[in-house]
């Protein structure tokens, strides 16, 4: 009996996906646990395995089509279909192969007409046989005017327009490629537009002297890596600084629900990462209880899994606040867009040595511009400036963070 393959529950209010590709084709045998197809959701890609053995008899939804949870996308026959009968049925007509061959030859007789057609569009095939017909028709329309000025006035614009018409549409067709947006790219686009249309989004800026952090990393990087098996990056410093800022300014650890403001008393920090399929934001759970080593190890694992396409929905669920680092691509300055329903996002940028005034002297220090985008519906400008100033002061004096370990 036929067994329907349905789109499984995908959690986190995800109700729609796109069929990426089928790994089995119609007629293929299927064992329990075999991966039948891949689905792409707005957050991750999923593999759909078979819960029954049999033969994939029908594929209902093809690659590239959108599907919904519970929708039938294929059918498995729980027993092997009687393949011998169709084969024997096909074999019978084979004895009378001659009649079909005659029909084929009869149909093929008009084929010589095809090469005689011009290579241009089919509609233009007939006029193309008389290319001079159109220019020749227009001068006769002008005889009522005795002066030669009228024919010359009409022929001047008509002469260049006729040869240019066929060449103009032919060129663009070779210079464009139309590719459908992936589901993740469509989701990213929708979320970014929604953030700009929904939130009263503003951005405030500051610059951070990274000298103390860079010096600390230089002095402790070898011992840190030997003890923990991971390098000491700048991300852990900013995660720690953000947690401290969220505790000091709880309005940043909130979201709007209807006409209410929901303030959270936990600290799940999202860390934006770029992948071949688009931006993802895995979440560091309870970041306030994580050590520097724990943060660095978690970020490294997330990065490896993101590159391999192995992130799960649980990895991306929720989040109180997001940190994004355009500096890894060389960005010096940017305004990050909110990751709704969060009300704040911190943008890091390239560290660049610049002259600054310090203690009455000009010195060269590694400097970084930082940007804080926030939802003005929840956060006031003064609070945003003080939040970012807290980040700046914490990074410039990282010893205070180490004392909290």
**Residues with a known catalytic role:** 376, 380
CA distance 39 to 65: 10
CB atoms within 10 A of CB 335: 14
DSSP state, residue 96: T
Q: Tokens at residue 60, please?
A: 């209902």
On the CB side of 68, CA atoms within 13 Å amount to 1
CA distance 371 to 247: 19
Helix (H, G, I), strand (E, B) or coil at 172: helix
Q: Which of 5, 167, 150, 156 has its CA nearest to residue 72?
A: 5
Q: Tokens at residue 253, please?
A: 């650890």
Query: Radius of gyration (Cα) for the chain, nearest Å?
Result: 33
Distances (CA, A) of 392 to 127, 267, 354: 74, 20, 17
């Amino acid at each position: 009996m036929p067994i329907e393959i349905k789109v499984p529950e995908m959690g986190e209010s995800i109700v729609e996906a796109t069929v990426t590709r089928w790994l089995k084709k119609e007629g293929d045998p299927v064992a329990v646990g075999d991966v039948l197809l891949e689905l792409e959701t707005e957050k991750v890609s999923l593999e759909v395995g078979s819960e029954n053995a049999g033969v994939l008899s029908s594929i209902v939804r093809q690659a590239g089509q959108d599907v919904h949870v519970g929708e039938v996308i294929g059918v498995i026959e729980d027993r092997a279909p009687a393949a011998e009968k169709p084969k024997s049925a096909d074999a019978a007509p084979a004895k009378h192969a001659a009649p079909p061959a005659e029909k084929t030859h009869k149909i093929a007789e008009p084929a010589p007409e095809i090469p005689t057609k011009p290579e241009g569009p089919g509609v233009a095939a007939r006029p193309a046989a008389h290319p001079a017909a159109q220019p020749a028709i227009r001068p006769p329309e002008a005889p009522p005017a005795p002066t030669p000025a009228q024919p010359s006035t009409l022929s001047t614009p008509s002469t260049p327009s006729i040869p240019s018409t066929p060449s103009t549409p032919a060129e663009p067709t070779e210079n464009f490629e139309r590719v459908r947006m992936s589901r993740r790219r469509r989701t990213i686009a929708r979320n970014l537009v929604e953030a700009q249309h929904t939130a009263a989004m503003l951005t405030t800026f500051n610059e951070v002297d990274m000298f103390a952090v860079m010096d600390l990393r230089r002095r402790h990087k070898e011992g840190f890596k030997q003890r923990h098996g991971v390098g000491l990056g700048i991300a852990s410093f900013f995660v720690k600084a953000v947690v401290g800022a969220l505790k000091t300014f709880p309005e940043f650890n909130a979201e709007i629900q209807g006409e209410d403001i929901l303030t959270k008393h936990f600290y799940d920090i999202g860390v934006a990462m770029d992948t071949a399929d688009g931006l993802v934001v895995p979440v560091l759970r309870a970041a306030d209880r994580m050590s520097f080593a724990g943060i660095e190890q978690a970020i490294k694992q997330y990065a490896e899994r993101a590159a391999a396409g192995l992130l799960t929905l649980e990895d991306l669920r929720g989040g109180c606040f997001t940190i994004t680092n355009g500096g890894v691509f060389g960005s010096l300055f940017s305004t990050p867009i909110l990751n709704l329903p969060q009300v704040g996002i911190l943008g890091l940028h390239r560290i660049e040595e610049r002259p600054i005034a310090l203690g009455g002297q000009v010195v060269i220090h590694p400097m970084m511009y930082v940007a804080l985008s926030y939802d003005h519906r929840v956060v006031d400008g003064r609070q945003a400036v003080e939040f970012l100033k807290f980040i700046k002061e914490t990074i410039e004096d990282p010893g205070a963070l180490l004392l909290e370990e």
